[in-house]
Each structure stands twice: as C-alpha cells, then as structure tokens.
Structure 1
Amino acid sequence: MAARREPTLADVADAAGVSLTTVSRVLNNRGYLSDSIKARVAAAIAELNYRPNQVARALHGKSTQTIGVIVPTVALPFFGELAAEIENALADHGYRILVCNSMGRADREREYLDLLVSHRVDGIISGAHNENLKEYGTVRLPLVTVDRELSPAVPNVRCANEEGGRAATELLLERGSHSPALLTSRTGAHNRREAGYRQVLERAGIEPVIMTVDFHTPDAERARLINAHLDAAGSQVDAVFATDDLSAAAVLHWATGRGLEVPTDFKVVGFDGTAAVRRALPELTTIQQPIGALARTAVEVLLTQVEAVAQGEEIGSSPSPAELPVTVLRGSTA
C-alpha cells in the first residue's frame, strides 16, 4: 500500500494539466487567467484536498492568516473562555489560531514562543503568567498581552483590576466584615487587585492580611495550602477576597468543612465571573471580567499592528494599557 502524503502544488498542476506557475497565479490571484483555467485548478484542488503550505507562504512574505495565543492552560475557566472568545473574534477577520498551553512553565512558554515565531504566525496574544522572559524582547512580530505587563512597548489589554479589588473589599465591609483577608497568587506592586484591597482597608484603618498560593500550584496542593492559611488565621479573619473564582470556591469548601455558615459566619468574594463557575456556583459573589470585550479589544489592537506591518510601517509603542470596566455579580456568599 502506498504511503499517504499531503498533496503538493505539483500534484495540483498535474491534475489540472497546467504549469506550477499557473497554479501559483490562481492561488494568489495574480495576472489574467481564463475562467476555464481557474475552474480546472479549483477542481484539482478540491479533488486532491490540497492545502496551501502556510509556512512556505510566510517564507515568501505572505500572511499565514494565523495568530498564536499563549495561555497557562485552557483547563482553567478564565483562560478557556478567553481563548474561545479570541478565536471567535479572529475568525470574524478570517484568521485562525494556534493555542499554546504553557502549563505554568517558563521553559514551555519559551519553546512555544520559538515555535510560533518559526512558523511565521502573523502575531501573538500572550496571557501566560511566567515572569521575566527576556525572549519576548527579541520578538519582532505584532504582540499584545492580556493582563500581563511585558514592557511599555507592548500593548496590555486588561480589566480594571484595581477598581475590582476596591469593589470586592468595600462589599465585604458593607456586609459586616471587620477583618477581610486577601487570597492571591503573588503579592507585590504589580498586583493591582491587591492594591485596591489595600486602599480600602487603609481608609478603614484595618490591617491587611495577605495569603498567597502560587498561581501554578497543582490543584490538590493548592487546596491544602489554602486550608492551612485559613486555619492559621483562625478568628482573626472573617472574610476572604480571592483574586480568582477557583480560589474562592476552595475557601467556600473550607468554610463548609469547618461548620461555618456563609455569609453569616464567613463571607467570600471571588474574581473573574466566568460562565463555567457561574453555572457551578451561582451563589458566589464575584467581580466579573468582561472576557468577550477583552478578547475583542486584544484582537483589534493586534490586527492594527498586523496591518501596520503589512504596510511596511513600524509598530508603535503603547503609552497606556487598554483597561475595561468590571461588574459586581452579587450572590449569597457576601
């Protein structure tokens, strides 16, 4: 049995009874060609199920109509929904996506970044959470990040994190909390949700309590660490603002296991408001990110860069992030 292989441009030319140059001209719509020749080439392409080699197109300076998307993992509700929305938004412009899951590993993100560049994608949208990857500084492709600061020259599309942190913390205080803790992945000046939390507590004269569990911690270990933080805090904490909904869900599980009534004995507010978590935990009070709008904005900003490159223009710097408003979804946990 003959080995199976993808048909080539030469196969199309043979089937249509024309030259390679003629097939190339048909595919690229260059020069005058009779309708009969176009029809013969189209029929050969359909018969052979020929697919143009996108990498070869890139090597000839043509668009691959492909965008690379790097996320931690689409298994997480926020990034799964973000990737789907980006795919839909790009499809409206005739683009496809290559989704790369970094799985929280810097080495894997570097490998995917190299893969996308070598495959000559037209641009990259990155939402991965690995820090200090100098390789991004060598990328000469259109590049946009979602909620990730790379450099002043790279556009960052994000929600109003600081505003959301303030809204979550204010809600906990309004509902009677006297000592709300923050549960987050990494503490520091870059964490704008934490900044909003600290601002509200400073005005209220309350000492902040910061609990950190790294974003990339495996699920089983993550639950254990969250339980340990909350058990150690004891009665010093009567509420938690978790900077993602999966952490908020773990806090609710902890409270149930300790016999605490929510929200009477303990209050919880999350962040993200994905459709998946809303279906699973409709009672969760959370700060909802505008995921669809984030995706569409990231695509618009990226394709503006892609068009500039196609016109031979330099990609300009982004003086400030594109920041979109959040929404408070009130459930029964706060």
Structure 2
Amino acid sequence: MVVRHEPTLADVAEVAGVSLTTVSRVLNNRGYLSQATKDRVAKAIAQLNYRPNQVARALHGKSTNIIGVIVPTVALPFFGELADEIETALAEHHYRMLVCNSMGRAEREREYLDLLVSHRVDGIISGAHNDDLSEYQTVRMPLVTIDRDISPTIPNIRCANEAAAHQATRLLLDRGALRPALLTSRTGPHNRREAGYRSVLEQAGVEPLIFTVDFHTPDDERARLIDAHLDAAADQIDAVFATDDLSAAAVLDWAERHGRRVPEDFKVIGFDGTSAVRRALPGLATVRQPLTDMAHAAVEVLLAQIQAHANGEDATPVDSPIELPGELLPGKTT
C-alpha cells in the first residue's frame, strides 16, 4: 500500500488487516490482544511511519507529553543554556519541549501563548521578558515562570538576585572601587539586582548611578547606548556592575578603547555566568546563575501541577518566588 498523505489510523488498520478499534486499543494498551495482533499493528506503524496526532490525543483528554517553553531567544547564551537545561530535566520524566522565541515582541509572545494553549500542551514554562501580558491570567493549564513575576498565583523560579547583586557590588568596593555604576535593562522596584546594588551603596554612603538600556534593544543600538552612557559619566565612575554578561563585555570593550586598565583603573563585573561567555571571556568577574537547579525546580513544580490537573485536583500552593543562590566568580576584572 502506497500512502500519498500523512498516514492515519485508518491506513494503519488497513495495512495491519484489523479494525480501527483494534489499532486504538493497541496504541492505548487497552483490553486483551494477542501478541500476533500487536505485532501486525506495530509492523504497519513502522511501515507507514505513522505518528500519533498529539492534538487529537489532547482533545481526547490524553497527555501530549509536550511542554511549551517561551523565551526571548535561544540565540542569547543565558536563554539558550536555560532551554538546554529544561530539555534535559524534562527528558528525565519522558517529556519533550517545544521552544518559542518571542524575540522581545509582546504580540509574538501572545501568538505563541495562544498556539501552546490551542495545541493543548501539558504545561508552559515562560521566561520571556514582556511585561503586562494579561493573557497569562486566563491560562487554565499548568504554568511556571523563570525569573519573571506575572502573578502571585503563578510560581516563579529565579536566582536570589538581590543577594547575588549585593555580593557583586560589595566585591567592587572591597577591591577599591569608589563609585561603581549599575548598567541594567530597566530600573524600578521589580529589579532585585538593582535593589542589591542600592543597598550596598547606601551602607557605604555612595551615591548610586544607574544606566538603563532596554533588554530588547537591537545589538548595534545597544552598543551605541552603552558607549553613550559611559562616555557621559567617564569622569565620575571607576567600576560597572552590569546585570548581564553581554553588557559587561560591552563595558570591557569601552574600557579598552578608552585606555582604561582593567582591573587597575577600572573594574567590571557581570551577571549570568553562562558557559558560552565564560569560554569567550574566562577572566570576566560575574555571578553564575544556578541554571541546572533553576531548570529542575521549574520542571518539578510544573509536573506537580500537571499531576494534580490530571487527578482533577488543585495543585498544592508553593511559596513563590523560589529563589536559588548564585555563585560569585571574582575573575580578573575586579
């Protein structure tokens, strides 16, 4: 039999010489079936390269064993490595992952959220950075966020950002910095890394100086804006705490172009500590986020929700956010 379309259950039944009901029973392991019948169905499935329709399974109340993961883009080292860790953690429980790159656009994130919900994935892990998406409040399926506060009722797993930023800023002062600036994506009470920076400077009696370059700024524009901030404050600062390593790398580039010796004249520390950036800049001082632990914690919380959902129960509430400690890596730039 030659099938010119994506094979269906009917095609499997025809090749195996059995009924549709029998094929369904084999796939779902229901009722008594002879081994010979199971073997004929298995042979037909292999011959046709039949793939079960996951959407149809979901519509019949069955698990798809697929988790949707929304991130800004896996092209960024932090989110690429986070997605890899989540995939590894999910595989341990026989789940697969569907990755959605929002590219920093709220409308794209809305479209992906709608896609995941309509395809009835078993759950969603969101690490995208668009604020005020009300659509998350209407999601009625297991949902966990990573480093993103959406709602008190949605578990958020993150690095202990404030404590880690406190350590990073303290290191700059201990190494002799007198006026460290903060380079971050946005300022405000939700920025716990900013809170850690401010608390250290307040204790030391130093006036904070904060530069902001939005997380979603295109690369060329981002480099230009960072240069502009540093140029304007060149005579006021002798160190920078950048709340991500790629920004810290841009600061190091600025320092080299302006004849600042690092760490003698100018000190720099970043945040994230991904393997990719550590390989490219092995001497960069940074805070390494516990990516493996964060991914496993997110998966464990999500699977607990999925199990409760399957049992028709409410998931056990968790104390959110779940904060995991970062690791200070002093490097050679402080």
TM range (shorter): over 0.9
Equivalence for 2:69: 69
Q: Does 1:86 align with 2:122?
A: no
Distance 1:4 1:316 in 2: 48
SS in 2 for 1:328: strand
Distance 1:214 1:130 in 2: 11
Q: Deviations over 1:151-206 (max 9, x none)?
A: 11100000110011100100000010000000000100000000000000000000
For the 8 Å contact 1:153–1:319, the answer to whether it is kept is: no
How far does residue 83 in structure 1 lie from its aligned partner after superposition? 0.3
Return the TM-score normalized by structure 1: 0.98
Equivalence for 2:214: 214
Equivalence for 1:240: 240
Distance 1:4 1:274 in 2: 47
How far does residue 3 in structure 1 lie from its aligned partner after superposition? 8.5
For the 8 Å contact 2:304–2:315, the answer to whether it is kept is: no
The 5-angstrom pairing of residues 1-334 of structure 1 reads 4-334=4-334
For the 8 Å contact 1:87–1:97, the answer to whether it is kept is: yes
Runs of 4+ that moved beyond 4 A: none
How far does residue 322 in structure 1 lie from its aligned partner after superposition? 1.1
Distance 2:105 2:3 in 1: 38
SS in 2 for 1:217: coil
* CA RMSD between the two structures: 1.0
Q: Deviations over 1:61-104 (max 9, x none)?
A: 00000000000000000000000110111011111111000000
Q: Deviations over 1:19-51 (max 9, x none)?
A: 000000000011111111011101111111100
- Provide structure 2 residue ranges, at least 5 long, that are not aligned to the other structure: none
> Which residue identity does 1:247 align to in structure 2?
S
SS in 1 for 2:233: helix
How far does residue 316 in structure 1 lie from its aligned partner after superposition? 4.2
Distance 1:252 1:272 in 2: 16
How far does residue 329 in structure 1 lie from its aligned partner after superposition? 1.0
Distance 2:145 2:13 in 1: 42
> Which residue identity does 1:7 align to in structure 2?
P
> Which residue identity does 1:41 align to in structure 2?
V
Residue-pair matches, total: 333
Return the TM-score normalized by structure 2: 0.98
- Provide structure 1 residue ranges, at least 5 long, that are not aligned to the other structure: none
SS in 1 for 2:299: helix
Distance 2:60 2:14 in 1: 23
